[in-house]
Amino acid sequence: MDTRAAPAIRNAMTIDVEDYFQVSAFAPHIAREAWPSLECRVEANIDRILGILDAGQAKATFFTLGWIAERYPAMVRRIVAGGHELASHGYGHLRASDQDRAQFMQDISSSKAILEDIGGQAVLGYRAPSFSIGPGNLWALDALHEAGYRYSSSIYPIQHDHYGMPDAPRFAFYPNGKDGLLEVPITTVRLMQRNLPAGGGGYFRLLPYALSRRMMRRVNREDGQAAIFYFHPWEIDPQQPRPEGLGLKTRFRHYVNLGRMDQRIQALTRDFAWDRMDRIFLGQP
């Protein structure tokens, strides 16, 4: 009888590399034209994240805006030098659902080229800002494949007021057959006929850490699947500037428990095994 323990499932740690002023909820309050004049905090936050991942012996995928990469090329190279995967988050954090096909192709192609030129490695993955691929623009998945991407992590199978496709598969799937693009949704757990978010973001900051850990362990043990976790550099930065005029819901969603996030990410690196999306789902070396 073989009594050896089964190897731990490798989960996918992902970071959406954008600055605090670029989040979609701030768009009505911060003009895109003002971005170059605002204090950028992303580089210092990314360096902190790289330190946490290195200490926890964890590898990750960094879905990076082309706008950020152009301004912080040395930061992008540090990500690559750390053994992490560089992937695309589009160029300027425009929702895929707010673009037509031609605009979207320009966005995903330019960001891919910028990242590959700076990082010196092929960019295989893409995540739409605000998970903005859904029932109304599934053509975007074909466009991504045409542009040379091999996988996307852009569909969140939950019900949400800003995004979500609750009827989508919960785990990695090929929307158009195995010769096409692989879609890797953010992790959910199934409870009472609903998908509940279990893969990071504001939910991770709001819920007790023990509950989030329990949900991800359930996905590993009961579903036998890798968990897909995501967060943003600004989520470990409680000292970030606070724009005026934000509504109560927006303020709560953006700022709740920022001060606890650093320690929670460290806890994740102790409690789970983490790796890059391309290694887990594409078998990349």
Residue 285 has what pLDDT?
A: 83
Shortest CA distance to 172 belongs to which of 155, 193, 196? 155
Query: How many CB atoms are closer than 10 A to CB 99?
Result: 20
Q: Name which of 7-21, 104-118, 159-173, 190-204 the model is least confident about.
A: 159-173
Helices 258-271 and 42-55: angle between axes, nearest 10 degrees = 30
Most confident of 73-82, 154-163, 190-199, 246-255: 73-82
pTM of the model: 0.95
Residue 6 has what pLDDT?
A: 46
- Percent of the chain exceeding pLDDT 90 equals 88
Average pLDDT over residues 85-108: 97
Q: How many domains does the chain have?
A: 1
Q: By three-state DSSP, how is residue 126 classified?
A: strand
Query: How many CB atoms are closer than 10 A to CB 74?
Result: 8
Residue 90 has what pLDDT?
A: 98
Angstrom CA distances, 160 to 16, 89, 157, stand at 19, 20, 9
Q: Are 262 and 44 in contact (CB under 8 A)?
A: no
Report yes or no on 172 lying in a domain.
yes
* pLDDT tens figures, 251-264: 999 999 999 999 99
Query: How many CB atoms are closer than 10 A to CB 244?
Result: 5
Report yes or no on 2 lying in a domain.
no
Q: Name which of 21-30, 158-167, 173-182, 212-221 the model is least confident about.
A: 158-167
Q: Are 162 and 127 in contact (CB under 8 A)?
A: no
Average pLDDT over residues 271-282: 98
Residue 100 has what pLDDT?
A: 97
Residue 162 has what pLDDT?
A: 67
Report yes or no on 159 lying in a domain.
yes
CATH code of 128's domain: 3.20.20.370
Question: How sure is the predictor about 159, in pLDDT bands with cuts at 50, 70 and 90?
Answer: confident
**Would the pLDDT of 13 be above 50?**
yes
Report yes or no on 224 lying in a domain.
yes
Report yes or no on 167 lying in a domain.
yes
Question: How sure is the predictor about 95, in pLDDT bands with cuts at 50, 70 and 90?
Answer: very high
Report yes or no on 30 lying in a domain.
yes
Please tell me the distance from the alpha carbon of residue 278 to that of residue 285, in angstroms, as a whole number: 8
Average pLDDT over residues 34-60: 97
Average pLDDT over residues 153-165: 81
Residue 4 has what pLDDT?
A: 42
Report yes or no on 5 lying in a domain.
no
Average pLDDT over residues 205-228: 96
Sign of CA dihedral 61, 62, 64, 70: negative
**Would the pLDDT of 161 be above 70?**
no
Please tell me the distance from the alpha carbon of residue 278 to that of residue 106, in angstroms, as a whole number: 23
Give the mean pLDDT of the chain.
94
**Would the pLDDT of 7 be above 60?**
no
Residue 5 has what pLDDT?
A: 42
**Would the pLDDT of 284 be above 90?**
yes
Structural domain harbouring 54: 10-282
Please tell me the distance from the alpha carbon of residue 163 to that of residue 77, in angstroms, as a whole number: 32
* pLDDT tens figures, 188-200: 999 888 999 999 9
Report yes or no on 268 lying in a domain.
yes
Residue 143 has what pLDDT?
A: 97
